[in-house]
Amino acid sequence: MALTFVDDTEHSRFDLFRDDDRVGLIDYRLRGSVIHLTHTFIDPEKRERGLAASFVQLVLDDIRSRELTLVPDCPFVAHWLTEHPEYNDLL
C-alpha cells in the first residue's frame, strides 16, 4: 500500500491517495506563511487503522519542509499533535 498526497491548491486541500485511489483529504487555509488545517476526512468505506494519522504526519512533514507556521483548527490534527510533541515547532 503506497500512500501519497497532492496539494490541490485550487481547492485548498491535501488529497490522500492509496495507490491510485483517493481515500481522504485535509482542508486548509493558507495566509502568507501561516497554514490553518481545518478539517480531516477519510472515506468511511476506505478507512483502516492509522490511515488518518499517517496522512497528518505526511502533511506536517510537508509543512515543515515549506517552513510554514501551523494552526491546527481541525480537532483530529490538534489531538494528534498532543501525542506527537516533536511537531510542536510548527505551531
Total structural domains within the chain: 1
Q: Residue 54 half-sphere exposure, CB side, CA atoms within 13 Å?
A: 16
Task: Name 35's bridge partners.
Answer: 30, 70
Give the global pTM.
Answer: 0.93
pLDDT band at 1 (very low <50, low <70, confident <90, very high): low
- The single residue listed with the C-alpha cell 503506497 is 2
Rounded-to-10 torsion of CA 45, 50, 52, 53? 180
- The single residue listed with the C-alpha cell 478539517 is 39
pLDDT digits (tens, 9 = 90+) for 5-59: 999 999 999 999 998 899 999 999 999 999 999 999 999 988 888 899 999 999 9
- CATH classification at residue 73: 3.40.630.30
Domain extent, residue 24, equals 3-90
